[in-house]
Every structure is written in structure tokens, then in C-alpha cells.
Amino acid sequence: MDLLSPVIAGFGVVFQPENLLYCLLGVTLGMLVGVLPGLGPAATIAVLLPITYNIEPTASIIMLAGIFYGAQYGGTITSVLLRLPGEASTVVTALDGHELARQGRAGSALGISAIGSFVGGTVAIVALTLVAPLVAGFALDFGPSEYTALALLGILLITTLGTGSPLKSLLMATVGLLLATVGQDPLDGVARLTLGTDRLLDGIDFVIVAMGLFGVAEILHNLESLRRPGTPMTSVGSVYPTRRDLTESKGAIARGSVLGFLLGILPGGGATMSSMAAYALEKKVAKRPERFGKGAVQGVAGPETANNAAATSSFIPLLTLGIPANATMAVMFGALLVQGITPGPTLVDEKPDLFWGVVNSMYVGNLLLLAMSMPLIGLFVRVLRVRPTILAPLTILITMIGVYTVRLSAFDMFLMVGLGVLGYLMKKVGFEPGPLVLAFVLGGLLESSFRRSMRIFGGDVTGFLTQPITAVLLAAIVLILVTPLILRLARRGTAA
């Protein structure tokens, strides 16, 4: 009953008219963002960060969460109709989804993905409700040394398990850590990496980094893509899947729910990796794997279920440990900090209204997603016809105004544009901004926890090994670093 009381009270928070409205707004915005190729949830949340200053904390996080999981379904529409993934997590959906569309079954593909998204999301929310308090209770034993190891583990996993090159990700993480040190030393007050200007003494605001690297960079990249020829639109047809489609998809939806939930918790995992893993799993267990790539409905159901389950479960490490599992969660972490809320193990007890309000809003948001997705597909298809030349300048204007309102500083606007150009160039040469932003977010936690630990251990770095949880986390770091080398040596030995 002790567990159920705050959970039930959380529904009372969600059903307040204001919070319901923001939940609906977030889910709708998320679907629209997913439909528009390029402008993903991380960029949208980054662009909206300044606006959330004026919204009550619980309502603003409910809205931003709705954008995240709503975008997972929205991206499916362009993947199926245009073979143009609106989100990275819907890339594999394009393989079979668009083939189904070419066969005149676009509606069935979109209908199955809506049902899979609802089931995957709901399973993950139930598991989140049960697991999150346990993880938070366990994390209450964490001290500075444990957080040092955990921050290191989070950065390492995002660089090794992400979708890009590990070496490039590691380089980006290093740049993120350097950017996190810009400003005055929190203990000594010494200026660090300020380039001699007083404007950087307070450090670089997270909002500027997020809006520049995600918002402006994505818009510039999208404008460049206008030169490429478009893909003809396919007719949608009936959005209600047949009984045969449902029968063939039920196993994929069940497996995608479990796989997505587990991979979503893992730092570096998230929706993209979950959808790819689910596609590979379905192809592996299929009786006729040769159908994949030619319009297999399981190739749509599995990934779409998994990416929504992962989008939900990735809130567990963020809310209970204060560790973002992916780039979008890093931006969400910033959104919580903007509201004066530090996510972590004490959040469940200190802010139960916010914690359970946000978690329970996902039940409502998932229902709204299912209710709106199929009837509104025609509307979202029309949205696809909005010219990027109209959308891009409008978004840039909102971004510039937003960043100016943070500190009423024109310097911040120039800094954001500079970071946006940097993010655009990074994208051109294959460097992902996610590891940079994640390392930037975790940099402060890593530095403060490490320095506090060294004070506790009297400057003896071996003190980390005397703490059981820290030692286990450090052993995991060593294992992750050493395992690829061992596997490579083993392959060379076998080849010889």
C-alpha cells in the first residue's frame, strides 16, 4: 500500500486539466516532429527549453516526455510512405514498411505500428512503475565515489554502444567534458578555458549547447537536403490491420516489448538500438526470413514496438540515478535542471508528485497516441507537404528568441549559432552530437564527485577500490574496455 499510495496520487496529478492539456500538446507535437524528417525530439525539446521556464515543472516535463515518445510513432509515417525515416529509430521500419506501402498496404503497416507502439509503451510503463522505486532505493546507498564510477560508465557506454564510430564518439565525449569545464572552478574560483572573456566566467549554459548542436545544426542540415529529389507519396488506404496481420505480428510485438524495455535502460541503448536489435531478432526467429525486406509485417511490428518501449524505459536511469541513457534524455536532464530539479535517487521521495505525475502521464499519453494515430494519419500526410523553406526560418527565429530570453544576452545567441555551425560540420564528417552533449551533462557530476571522493580518500586514488559498489562499476568499465581487444585477438588466433 505504501508503494500504491503515491502511484495513485500521481494519477490525480495527471488528471488535472492543465497537465492533461500539456500531455495532449506534447504527444501531438511529438507526432508532428516525427513526421517532419530531420527535426527530431532532441532538437525540438532543445528548442522548447526556454519556453518551459514559464510552465509549472510537472506540466513542462509531462509535455517534453510526450514529445519524445510521440515522435517515435510520427517517424514511422514518413518511413512507410516515403522510405524517408523521420527518426533514426524508424530507419529499419522503412525496409519492410515502404515495401508494404508499394504493395498497397501502407495503412496496415501504419496500423500495426500504432498498435505495437501502444503495447510496447504500456508494457514499459508498467515495468517502469514497478522497477523505478527499487532502483532509486538501491541508489540511495550511492556516494561520491559511486557517482564518479557511474558517470564514467555512462560516458563509456554511450561511446561504445552508440550507433556511430566508437573512436569518434570518444572524441566527442572528450570535447563535451572540456566544454563542461569552461568557467570558474567551483572550488578555487580560477577561470578555466574562458579565452580571456568575462562572458564565459559563468560557464556555457546547457540550453545554448543543446539548442546549437541539436536545433540549429539539424535545421542547417535539413536545408542542405532540399537539393535532393523527393520521393513520390504513396496512397495510405485503410489504416486498420487485418486479422492475419495481427496474428503474424503478435509474437514480434511481445518480443519487441521486452527487448525494447531492457535495451532502453542501458546507457547508449535507447530507441534506435532497440529497433535495430528487434529487427535482427525477428529476422532470426522468422520461419521465412527471406520475406524480410520485401514487406514482412513482423519487420514493422517488432522495431516499432521496441522503440516505443525503449523510449519509455530510458526514463528509469534518468529519474532514479540522474544518468541520461541517450542524447534526448541528456536534453531532458537539462530541462529538469532548468526547472530547479536534480534527477536522482531522492527524486521519488522528495518530489513524488512530479515523479509519479510524469510516469503516469505516459499511460494517458500512450492512450492518446493510439486514439489519434490512426484517425489523424491523413492530417499528418498533409503536414509532409509543408515546405522546409517556410519551416526552417521560423524555427531559427524561435530558437534565437528562446536563447536570448535565458540570460538576455546577445553573446549567447552568437555562441549558439557558432555551436550550430560546429554541429552541422560534425554531422557532415560523421561525428554525432549525442556523446558530446551527454559528456557535457555528466561532466559536472563527474568532476564534483571525483574531487569530493579524493577528499574523502585523502588523495589516495586506490580508495575507490575499497567501496564495493564502486569497485563493481569500475570492474564493469574495465570489462567493457578489455572485451573487444580479447575478441579481436581471439579472431586473429582463429584465422591464423
pLDDT greater than 80 at residue 164 = no
pLDDT greater than 70 at residue 261 = yes
pLDDT tens digits along 60-80:
989 988 888 887 777 777 777
pLDDT of residue 160: 65
Q: What is the pTM assigned to this prediction?
A: 0.74
Structural contact between residues 390 and 84, judged by C-beta atoms closer than 8 angstroms: no
pLDDT of residue 228: 56
Grid cell 507535437 in the structure block, residue: 29
pLDDT of residue 254: 93
The type of residue at 249 is S
Mean pLDDT of 116-138: 85
87 pLDDT band (50/70/90 cuts)?
Answer: low
pLDDT of residue 17: 92
pLDDT of residue 232: 55
User: What average pLDDT does the structure give for the chain?
Assistant: 81
Mean pLDDT of 130-157: 82
Structural contact between residues 124 and 257, judged by C-beta atoms closer than 8 angstroms: yes
Query: CA–CA distance from 379 to each of 31, 38, 463 (Å)?
Result: 11, 19, 60
pLDDT greater than 70 at residue 385 = no
b/e per residue 385-418 (b: at least 16 CB within 10 A): eeebeebbeebbebbbebbeebeeeeebbebbbe
pLDDT tens digits along 213-255:
877 887 787 777 655 555 555 565 666 778 888 888 889 999 9
Share above pLDDT 70 across residues of the chain, in percent, rounded to a whole number: 88
pLDDT of residue 375: 73
178 pLDDT band (50/70/90 cuts)?
Answer: very high
CA–CA gap between residue 59 and residue 169 (Å, rounded)? 34
Q: Locate 358 and state its grid cell.
A: 510524469
Contacts of 142 by beta carbon, 8 Å cutoff, 6+ apart: 150, 321, 345, 469
173 pLDDT band (50/70/90 cuts)?
Answer: confident
From the CB of residue 192, how many other CB atoms can be counted at a distance below 10 Å? 14
pLDDT of residue 253: 92
From the CB of residue 430, how many other CB atoms can be counted at a distance below 10 Å? 9
pLDDT greater than 70 at residue 37 = no
- State the greatest distance between any 2 C-alpha atoms of the chain, in Å, as a whole number: 70
pLDDT of residue 188: 76
pLDDT of residue 23: 92
The type of residue at 362 is M
pLDDT tens digits along 431-475:
878 788 878 878 888 888 899 899 899 888 888 999 988 999 899
pLDDT of residue 162: 54
Structural contact between residues 50 and 207, judged by C-beta atoms closer than 8 angstroms: yes
pLDDT of residue 168: 85
